Amino acid sequence: MATTYLEAIREGLFEEMDRDPNVFLLGEDIGIYGGAFKVTAGMLDRYGPRRIVDTPISESAIVGAAIGASFMGLRPVAEMQFADFISCGFDQIVNFAAKCRYRWNAPAPMVVRAPCGGGIHGGPYHSQQNEAWFAHTPGLKVVLPATARDAKGLIKSAVRDNDPVIFFEHKALYRRVKEDLPQGDYTVPLGKANIHREGRHLSVITYSAMVHVADEAASIVAKEGLSVEVIDLRTLTPLDEDTILASVRKTSKAIVFHEATLTGGFGGEIAARITEKAFEYLDGPVMRLAAPDTPVPFSPTLEEAYLPNVDKLVAKIRQLAAY
């Protein structure tokens, strides 16, 4: 039976909590209520209040408690109810958790789960893609799964990792994406991209929900004779630069595609690395497609106009293919 993206994350957490008694969860409404999106439903009954900890509405306190617990040999998984409000715990994450290993060789094995992204009409405070904040911070690992298989395998790898991991879960994928998962205990390595779709003429480098948009756009232009390769980065830090460059050297054209706003987005970093390290292979400019530099609109009509989509990507593919 196919498993949804949401259920895959839940399965991964169940398995890691069964495997390691030092793993525990904390966050707002994750216990009795089962989480805002029901990812943690049923866990309080199974593990009890010592391992499923309902917290006050204070992201700073949640992150701080997780850091302290990680120093004491535990492996906390902290939930931010929405990725937007991770900003309230930002100082704890970037100025403490990220730097502890560097400053005094104190690992902080913790995961911060961050439901992110638009497409749910959540408005400017419940829809952001703010992964670039953390990819810019040495010491943090940044994970953004696009598929159910990867969501489970990556959450398990994140829990086992000895560095702090920011785990972005796209809300629009929770119940829309499903697939059959491998049997038994499996993980997906951090720092390894996936060639989601093989192609010859052009590379689309993307991550999170935009992987599915890219796949649909590639199917449309395939009818026109264009073969598009879709690279799913899966993690931004560590970044699998080798897979990106190998794809661009094969196709000679690249579009970097993400949902986050354009200016200062992680796509600029990818484009720069392609230009620096694969320039002689390029047969056209490295192009970017992202959201405009505005807050996410609340109006469904405006949100639809704001978000990158299949039609916008198809137009960009055609433009670059004709260059």
Check residue 126 and give its pLDDT.
95
SS (H, E, C) 129-182: CCHHHHHCCCCCEEECCCCHHHHHHHHHHHHHCCCCEEEEEEHHHCCCCEECCC
Q: Taking 90 as the threshold, does the pLDDT of residue 230 lie above it?
A: yes
* Mean pLDDT score across all residues of the chain: 97
H or E, element range at 316: helix 310-321
* Residue among 163, 145, 164, 308 nearest 236 (CA): 145
Cα–Cα distances in angstroms (integers) from residue 202 to residues 9, 265, 282, 285, in the given order: 32, 21, 10, 12
Instruction: Check: CB of residue 195 under 8 Å from CB of residue 229.
Output: yes
Measured CA to CA, the distance from residue 102 to residue 109 in angstroms comes to 14
Give the domains, in start order, of the chain with CATH numbers. Answer: 3-179 (3.40.50.970), 194-321 (3.40.50.920)
Q: What are the residues whose beta carbons fall under 8 Å from the beta carbon of 49, sequence distance 6 or more?
A: 31
**pLDDT tens, residue by residue, 146-180:** 999 999 999 999 999 999 999 999 999 999 999 99
* Residue among 187, 184, 171 nearest 5 (CA): 171
Measured CA to CA, the distance from residue 239 to residue 141 in angstroms comes to 9
Q: Supply the residues annotated as catalytic.
A: 126
- The two structure tokens encoding residue 226: 């264009």
Check residue 110 and give its pLDDT.
98
Check residue 1 and give its pLDDT.
82
> ω into residue 238 within 30 of 0, thus cis?
yes
Greatest alpha-carbon pair distance for the chain in Å reads: 60
Average pLDDT over residues 191-209: 98
Say whether 298 sits in a helix, a strand or coil.
coil
- The two structure tokens encoding residue 6: 């949401």
Question: Any bridge partners for residue 177, and if so which?
Answer: none
Check residue 260 and give its pLDDT.
98
Please state the pTM of the whole predicted model: 0.97
